Amino acid sequence: MDIRNEIKNFFSEDGILAQKFETYEFRKSQLDMALGVYDSLESKSHILIEAPTGIGKSFAYLVPAIYYAKENKKKAIISTHTINLQEQLIGKDIPFLRDNLPFEFKAALIKGKSNYICPKRLRVAIDNANSLFESDEQKTLDKLYSWSKNTIDGTLSDITFQVVPNVWNSVCAERGICTNKTCGGHEDTECFYQKAKYNISQSDVVIVNHHLFFTLFAGVKAVGEEGYLYKNDFVIFDEAHTLETVASEHVVPALSREMIKYHLHRLYNDRRKKGFLLSFPSLHVLPQVQNLLEINQYFFQEIKRELFHYRNKDEKKLALRVTDKNIIKNTLKDELDNLLKSLRGLRQYCSNDLQENELQDYILRFGEFGRMIDDFLELKDEDKNYVYWVELASQKEDANISLCVSPVDISEFFRENIFRENNSCILTSATLTVSNEFGYFKKRLGAEIADEVQLPTQFDFYRQVKLYIPKNIPEPQKENNAIYNIRLKEWINYFVKMTEGKALVLFTNSFLLRQIGSELRAELAPDNIEVFMQGEGASRRNLLSSFKNNTNSVLLGLDSFWLGVDVPGEALSNLIITRLPFLVPDHPLIKAKLEYIDLNGGNSFMDYSLPEAILKFRQGIGRLIRHKTDTGIIAVLDPRILTKSYGKHFFNSIDECPVEIL
């Protein structure tokens, strides 16, 4: 089979897509991308592809990937960042290809193990319901039992009623608890996870999200020279602009006070008189759990006092860097060791493999907690350019406290593990270049050996968009500035009324969003323009749904709304960027990255701060035009794009369009 010809025919003007979609238009960029993906797979090389919105990139990588996987008996791993894209791939694109490609192929979606209900754990939970759950939780348990008899895939996303987390965590599949030994092989098991695991092993295409990819990858890095999650796979990262952040979170996971508290309460909750330990005849461990709960609270409060009260007087900061070893004594260590010794002693009382596995999981988990605390206090990997910091969830007195660690530069991790020889890795996104160059992205991810393709946009940006920049706004200040706030609100109001709503307003500051948003809501009410704001309790999905359905409305959003928002048509005709999206330089991780670049002879602003801001700016701009028929305006309410020498880099990062300075 000549696969290159098959790919060309699929995307041709009279090919499969043209036959199935009346509105199909041949896009050379889509075909170029598909052939680029196939050539990269054939040559076992790596490639970066910038594919602007409208190219149809999911088909452009799926078609060559499936052909190559079938021809060479390999697995195509497709990793995405957002659930929306996963749902599009598994629910829409892949079913279409199943129906229209000239051969059969199997595809499956990988979900984390804890997404599946475990029938055996469910039965154990029902048998021990009185010792594990309150009466309202037992009602949830009964619902789960009824649901488990009718569900097809047994996953959390299939449930239509609200599930109490404590109940689900007691009945879901878990690492080390649900095994082939306890649940049986795929042929004779009722275990949903084991069945899913087998289906995935038999699939040609496997869909996963970035977070789960790196979670699984950490466990299978020893598969050999070829393959990532399997010995015969290749990987395609869509939404690849998020990879550095996601991978960094998985190199060293964070540990928090509430995480330890939660698992201690699962062992035994004295207030509720419930917990796993009540299934054992020997109850001498219960006082140890109670003692650990108190010490856990004290330990994290001591860290908070030492860093946020004694060493730092800026009460507004939520994250502070740790540069000294053993900033406090590890008061948890002795009691954690005692708990582990006692838990090991309970093995003799286990009545079955499942109970023993569950006990072993607690032993492993609390052992990991102990090691993570020791490593944090000792700054174990400080010499490897790791940064350590403590982060508060909020300014509230009882806010959660987390111990965080991250590599300052993750390029070596990618160089060694992802961009290896004899493997194929394809990264694609609408935003991989800065000033039309891949250099910044390649350097950050250690992708020097990767080929690169930058595809042109399918949109007529000059016809579809007009850019407005007011020049009488003060420059954004770090501190709250009354004149700046007034001018900013006036200009937002001006542009919102220009399009009678239909506006997405992107902020970088939550306080400013709330302040201006509440004033705008009152001022726009007489014009029947409704204002939706992030941070008022509604989910991101519900906010977007309300915004789409109410055409004359305004949506004010923060970080998560700068990317992944797809509102085609009239509902989004106006994009307002309140501030150039530079990262806050006083966060410990950002500050450490800037220091690292400067110490190694670079220019932290030009080499990191500016490129990161440009990439995010491009992501924000990309929210406006989603189809060839879309039109609209963009307002950039930050005068620095005109007054600073670096402003031209922002202009150069987007396609040319008419600009009016007001």
Q: Is residue 561 part of a domain?
A: yes
Distance of CA 271 to the CA centre of its chain: 35
Q: Is residue 211 part of a domain?
A: yes
* Same domain as 599, residue 626: yes
| 330 three-class SS | coil
Q: For 519-550, how does the pLDDT look when each residue is reduced to its tens digit (9 = 90+)?
A: 999 999 999 999 999 988 888 888 998 999 99
| 293 three-class SS | helix
Which pLDDT belongs to residue 458?
86
Q: Which of 165, 191, 217 is the last residue of a domain?
A: 191
Q: How many distinct structural domains can be found in the chain?
A: 4
- The yes-or-no verdict on residue 517 having pLDDT over 80 is yes
Across residues 191-214, what is the average pLDDT?
90
3-state DSSP of 492-527: HHHHHHHCCCCEEEECCCHHHHHHHHHHHHHHHHHH
* Same domain as 568, residue 429: no
Whether 220 and 212 have beta carbons less than 8 Å apart is answered as: no
Distance of CA 342 to the CA centre of its chain: 38
- The yes-or-no verdict on residue 186 having pLDDT over 70 is no
Provide the token pair at 160.
């239509």
Q: For 43-60, how does the pLDDT look when each residue is reduced to its tens digit (9 = 90+)?
A: 999 999 999 988 999 999
What does the alpha-carbon distance between residue 576 and residue 502 come to, in Å, rounded to a whole number?
11
* Same domain as 146, residue 81: no
Whether 459 and 480 have beta carbons less than 8 Å apart is answered as: no
Q: How confident is the model at residue 220 (pLDDT cuts 50, 70, 90)?
A: low
Q: Is residue 392 part of a domain?
A: no
What does the alpha-carbon distance between residue 107 and residue 100 come to, in Å, rounded to a whole number?
14
* Same domain as 329, residue 300: yes
Q: Is residue 221 part of a domain?
A: yes
Q: For 443-454, how does the pLDDT look when each residue is reduced to its tens digit (9 = 90+)?
A: 999 999 999 999
- The yes-or-no verdict on residue 165 having pLDDT over 90 is no
Q: Is residue 400 part of a domain?
A: no
Whether 585 and 644 have beta carbons less than 8 Å apart is answered as: no
Residues whose CB falls within 8 Å of the CB of residue 502, separated by 6 or more in sequence, listed in order: 551, 552, 553, 570, 571, 572, 573, 574, 632
Which pLDDT belongs to residue 221?
55
Across residues 639-647, what is the average pLDDT?
94
* Same domain as 240, residue 361: no
What does the alpha-carbon distance between residue 616 and residue 560 come to, in Å, rounded to a whole number?
11
* Same domain as 298, residue 238: no
Q: Is residue 308 part of a domain?
A: yes
Which pLDDT belongs to residue 313?
64
* Same domain as 226, residue 283: no
Which pLDDT belongs to residue 586?
82
Q: For 1-34, how does the pLDDT look when each residue is reduced to its tens digit (9 = 90+)?
A: 799 999 999 999 888 888 888 778 888 999 999 9
Q: Is residue 577 part of a domain?
A: yes
* Same domain as 359, residue 293: yes
Q: How confident is the model at residue 479 (pLDDT cuts 50, 70, 90)?
A: low
* Same domain as 271, residue 359: yes
Residue-number span of the structural domain to which 24 is assigned: 3-106+203-248+410-454
Q: Looking at this protein, which amino acid is placed at residue 448?
A: E
What does the alpha-carbon distance between residue 639 and residue 1 come to, in Å, rounded to a whole number?
58
Q: Is residue 405 part of a domain?
A: no
What does the alpha-carbon distance between residue 446 and residue 35 come to, in Å, rounded to a whole number?
24
Across residues 637-645, what is the average pLDDT?
95
For the domain that residue 606 is a member of, what is the CATH number? 3.40.50.300
Q: For 240-258, how does the pLDDT look when each residue is reduced to its tens digit (9 = 90+)?
A: 999 999 998 888 889 999 9
* Same domain as 565, residue 490: yes
* Same domain as 613, residue 550: yes
| 574-577 and 503-506 strand pairing | parallel
| 9 three-class SS | helix
